[in-house]
Structures are given as C-alpha cells and as structure tokens.
Chain A
Amino acid sequence: MSRRWINRITFLFMGLTGLACATVILLVALILGHIAYHGVHHLSWEFLTTAPRAGMTEGGIFPAIFGTVFLVLLMTIAVVPLGVCTAVYLQEYAPAGSKLVHAVRLAIQNLAGVPAIVFGLFGLGFFIEFAGRSVDRLFYGGQLHFGQPAILWAALTMALLTLPTVVVATEEALRVVPRGHREAAYALGATRWQMVRYVLLPQATGGILTGTILAVSRGAGEVAPILFTGAAYYLPELPRRLNHQFMELGYHVYVMATQSPDVDATKPILYATVFVLLTLTFLLNFSAVVLRARIRRRLAEGR
C-alpha cells in the first residue's frame, strides 16, 4: 500500500474514533447543560424545604429529599457491614481456591448484573409478601403492619442491589495492604481477627468509604426497585416509622413526567427536581472519585 494511502487511512481511523469520542462527550454536556439551564432558576430555599402543593404545581420537594435520604441511610446501615464482612471473608478467611469462595464471588458478580426491576419483584415477592407477612403473623396477630410496601423493605432491596459495589471496593482496599503488614501482626501473636481489626481495616477505611459513597449514589438514583416496595407520589406526612411509605426524588420525577395531568404547569418543578437529583448523584460520585484519587496518591508515595 502506498505511503499516502496509509496516511489517509490513519487519519480517517483516528478521525472516526476521535469523532465517536467527541460525540459522547458532547451528548453528556448537552444533557447536563439542558437540565441545568432549565432547572436552576426554579431552585430556591423554599423549594428545597417545603412540601408540594396544588397538585405538584407549587411548593417544594422536601418530602422527596427526606425520603431519599432516609432510604439511603437505612440501606447503608444494612449494606456496609454485610459488604465489608463478605469482602473480609473473601480476602482473609477463605481457604484459597475453596468452593465456597468461588460460589460467593460468582454470586457477587451475578448480583451486579441482575436488572433493577427484578430486584423490585424480589422485594415484593420476598420482603413484602413473605418476610413482611410472616412478621405480621408472628408479632401482630395477622394485622397488616409489615406485609405491605414500606421504607424498610425498599431499603433492604436496595442494599442487595448495591452489595456488589461495596464488596468490590472493600476487596480492592484489602488487597492493597502489603503482605509484610499482615505478617508483622501475626508474628506479634495476633489472631486473624485481631490482624484484620488492627492492621487491615484501618488501612482499608478509605476504600470502604469510596464503595459506600458509590453505593449511596446508586441507591439514590435507581427507581425500578422501589416502584412496588414503598415509594409513593404524594404523602401527607413524612415517614417516621420503618413500615411507612416514602416519597423519593427519582420516583417523583418518573411519576410527574409521565402521569402529570398538566405537563406545562409542573414543568418548572419537574426540571428543578431532576436538577436536584442530578446534583446529588453527581456530588456523591465526584467525592468518590476524589477520595479514590487521594488514596491512590497516598499509596504511591507512602509505600
């Protein structure tokens, strides 16, 4: 092939792939810019701190923010200890190459690929119908308390969904601890748990935090799992108990966008809500990225 042709094709190839790259970046900028542009001006202190009025055409979205935070808090309490224990098991307690390790790893990887709506079905079929009804039968004499959509079940469903995120991040953090540190602890007479507690976990805290933040971001953004496990469009009160339903930012966007009787009137609130949701997930992801970068830098220079 002649040199000129080769150069032309090189240029073409680079150009095409570069164009693909630019297109993606442009699309992202477009979406974010559009939402920011239309959402920003409706933001106000009142918007963030009051409840909606007049069929979602006035007022604010405080209950949705509260519900999202409450949901994510419960989810974190459930998923972080579970995820950290699982990761510690995989890295420290499991005999190398054992069948259980293989199975747990496979389970984690596959959990990560299960569609969000299937989690929602599971939340309904297991947590609400089975666990909730059982609790009602055992503790409330059959009265309906927990056998219905509730923030507790939604949070547990989300915890299962985000479990892989926490496990993977924690495992990474544990793996990076040098072997010499472990041996130093053992040589001093530490039991395995003492070694994990005094040497590994303190050093893995950054990674665990990163994983938690990513899980929280996912928990705040996914809507499909909470469609039937506890989210509601309008509630007169904030959820105060574990078996209450809750309003949530993502769910609010979904319902408002698809089922609002007067689209134009709710548009400003809708855009502003989307903006708040985006800002929330963006801030969370950003802090996770910054944290991860800081950990990497400290690893590179400290050791």
Chain B
Amino acid sequence: MGISYDASVPSPADKLVVERLRVRKGKNAILNGVSLTVRGGEILALIGPAGSGKTTFLRCLNRLIDLEPELAVEGRLRLDGLDVYGEGVDVPSLRRRIGMVFAVPNPLPMSIRDNLTLGLRILGAAAAGPPSERIERSLKAAYLWDEVKDRLDDSALKLSGGQQQRLCLARSLMAGPELLLLDEPCSGLDPISTAKIEEALQGLKSRISVVLVTNNVKQASRCSDRTAFLLMGDLVEMGETGLIFTNPQNRRTADYVSGRFG
C-alpha cells in the first residue's frame, strides 16, 4: 500500500462515503443515522452547537472511537472503497492514511524533530524520502517552518499554543495522509495562529481531503467548500458553503448560522 506523499491531481470521485452512521451509548443516541460524502480535494466543514455529535462523528472516521468500548457504532463507512468497519481491517494501517488534529494541542514531551518523526518510526520501514526533507515540507505546509527551523531539537513543549497546534498539524502530515480530520483546531488560539492554520488548510486541499469540525460559524464560511450542519445527532442540511450561509433550505440551519442559537 504505497502512500505517495505528492499525490497527483485528486479525482473528483468521492473520497469517503458515510452511510447511516449511528452511535449509541447505552440507550442514548449520539448520532442518528448520518449519511454524507466527502469529495476528494475539498474542505468539508462540520458545524453545529456543542453536543451535536460532531467530535463523535469525526472519531468514527479513523476509528478512534474504538477507544471507547461503551459506544455502539453501526453503519457503513467507505474510504476509497475500503469498508472501514469491515472484518479484518488493520486499524493502525487505516489510521496512517488519515491524519488528525485534536482540539487541545497534544505535542509529545520530546523535541520538535522527534515529534515529527514519530509517525515515521511508527511506519517502521524506511518511508520514501529522507526525514529532513519531509520535516521541512510538513512544517512549511503547516506554516511553521520559519519559526522553528533553527531549533528543531528544542522541546516541543516550549512552543506557544498556536505553534504547538501547527506542530501537531505538521506531525499529522508527515506520513502523507489522504484525509485530514481537524476537531475544532483553533479553539483557544490567537487570531494570527488561527489565520495561519486556515491558510495551511487552503494550501493542503489540492492534495488532501479535509473534514473540519468547527464551533466557529464564520470560520466555516471562510474556509470550506461545503458545509454540513449537525444538530443533536442529526444531519440537518449539507451543501455548498456559499448556499448554506446565504440561502439555507432548513429553518434550523438558518437560525444557527445567523446566530439565533448556538
């Protein structure tokens, strides 16, 4: 399964197909049969008030939800045709194809360089290209290269919050993922770091598909190509970002994007 870092022109075919995804904790439903598709080379924003199941949805995509055995997951997920929840799926391999950036930056207590190469060490076999080239490319893609290029061996914990989050973004890009998941990556970050991350996403989208969960409606309208609105576990509406914000079909969508509730 060769993952080439420089993927060629993305196909317009669907990258990820989600069919009737349902997640339950005991009797409570967290997701009620959500179905959507993620296209290749697009940024899909997932918006909705807190508790709607956006994070849960995201964690289903790379099966991080497996870490919570009390949740029951049903439905079909296909990544490039591969049934994510199928029999005999090698979950670690799956996760290597998908990058994830968490809401709270979680750099590991090691040097910047070690943080970045962790993914390669996990891959084991010598991945294509010498590490230092990849490090530079990932850091540039995350708009962090200039700030840390002279101190790659410093501890990652010395960076500011915004820098740490960009480091986490660079880290997730090191193994050349096809799909990038971001869970409210800019919550709590200063506006400059936020802007840099949004720029980074724009730069990435030609090569990778991006699913961006965000609490910030304005960020969704700035960054994404399409937007999906999740409310209390239901997918209420989904479509071209421009249309969702200017002319939503559903009244609840209109209420949410205009800030009448949130």
A positions within 8 Å CB-CB of B: 95-96, 178, 180-181, 183-191, 194, 198-199, 202-203, 302
Considering the chains assembled together, what is the distance between the CA atoms of A181 and B175 in angstroms? 18
Residue of B nearest to A194 (CB): B122
On whether the beta carbons of A180 and B106 are closer than 8 Å, the reply is yes
Task: Decide yes or no whether B148 CB sits under 8 A from chain A.
Answer: no
Q: Which of A95, A96, A186 has the most CB of B within 10 A?
A: A186
Q: Which of B152-177 contact A (CB under 8 A)?
A: 157, 168, 171-172, 175
A190 contact from B98, B102, B122, Cβ within 8 A: B122
14 examples of A-B residue contacts, CB within 8 angstroms: A96-B69, A181-B109, A184-B102, A187-B62, A188-B95, A188-B119, A189-B92, A189-B93, A189-B95, A189-B96, A190-B92, A190-B122, A198-B121, A199-B108
Considering the chains assembled together, what is the distance between the CA atoms of A184 and B118 in angstroms? 10
User: Beyond A187-B102, A188-B119, A189-B175: 5 further Cβ-contacts under 8 Å?
Assistant: A187-B99, A190-B122, A194-B92, A198-B118, A302-B157
Give A206 Cβ to nearest chain B Cβ, in Å: 12
Known: A96-B69, A188-B171, A189-B95. A183 touches B119 (CB 8 A): no
Considering the chains assembled together, what is the distance between the CA atoms of A206 and B4 in angstroms? 39
Residues of B within 8 A of A178 (CB): 106
B122 contact from A96, A189, A302, Cβ within 8 A: A189
Considering the chains assembled together, what is the distance between the CA atoms of A184 and B122 in angstroms? 12
Task: Decide yes or no whether B64 CB sits under 8 A from chain A.
Answer: yes
Question: By the criterion of a CB under 8 Å from any partner CB, how many residues of chain B are at the interface?
Answer: 29
Residues of A within 8 A of B238 (CB): none
Considering the chains assembled together, what is the distance between the CA atoms of A189 and B124 in angstroms? 11
Q: Which of B100-129 contact A (CB under 8 A)?
A: 100, 102, 104, 106-110, 118-119, 121-123
Residues of B within 8 A of A194 (CB): 92, 122
Considering the chains assembled together, what is the distance between the CA atoms of A174 and B109 in angstroms? 14
B102 contact from A95, A183, A189, A203, Cβ within 8 A: A183
On whether the beta carbons of A188 and B118 are closer than 8 Å, the reply is yes
Residue of A nearest to B110 (CB): A202
Give B115 Cβ to nearest chain A Cβ, in Å: 9
Task: Decide yes or no whether B9 CB sits under 8 A from chain A.
Answer: no
On whether the beta carbons of B118 and A185 are closer than 8 Å, the reply is yes
Considering the chains assembled together, what is the distance between the CA atoms of A190 and B110 in angstroms? 17
Task: Decide yes or no whether B67 CB sits under 8 A from chain A.
Answer: yes
Considering the chains assembled together, what is the distance between the CA atoms of A87 and B102 in angstroms? 28
B172 contact from A96, A187, A198, Cβ within 8 A: A187
Considering the chains assembled together, what is the distance between the CA atoms of A227 and B122 in angstroms? 49
Residues of A within 8 A of B110 (CB): 202
Residue of A nearest to B104 (CB): A180
B67 contact from A186, A191, A202, A302, Cβ within 8 A: A186
Considering the chains assembled together, what is the distance between the CA atoms of A188 and B124 in angstroms? 12
Considering the chains assembled together, what is the distance between the CA atoms of A190 and B64 in angstroms? 11
On whether the beta carbons of A188 and B157 are closer than 8 Å, the reply is no
Considering the chains assembled together, what is the distance between the CA atoms of A198 and B100 in angstroms? 18
On whether the beta carbons of A191 and B92 are closer than 8 Å, the reply is yes
Known: A178-B106, A194-B122, A198-B121. A187 touches B69 (CB 8 A): no
Residues of A within 8 A of B69 (CB): 95-96
Residues of A within 8 A of B104 (CB): 180
Residues of B within 8 A of A203 (CB): 109
Considering the chains assembled together, what is the distance between the CA atoms of A279 and B239 in angstroms? 75
A186 contact from B64, B109, B168, B171, Cβ within 8 A: B64
Give A192 Cβ to nearest chain B Cβ, in Å: 9
B175 contact from A96, A188, A202, Cβ within 8 A: A188
Considering the chains assembled together, what is the distance between the CA atoms of A187 and B104 in angstroms? 14
On whether the beta carbons of B99 and A198 are closer than 8 Å, the reply is no
Considering the chains assembled together, what is the distance between the CA atoms of A95 and B64 in angstroms? 16
Residues of B within 8 A of A187 (CB): 62, 64, 95, 98-100, 102, 172
Considering the chains assembled together, what is the distance between the CA atoms of A183 and B100 in angstroms? 10
Known: A188-B122, A189-B92. A183 touches B108 (CB 8 A): no
On whether the beta carbons of A188 and B172 are closer than 8 Å, the reply is yes
On whether the beta carbons of B123 and A189 are closer than 8 Å, the reply is yes
A184 contact from B67, B96, B108, Cβ within 8 A: B108
Give A9 Cβ to nearest chain B Cβ, in Å: 52
Considering the chains assembled together, what is the distance between the CA atoms of A107 and B171 in angstroms? 42
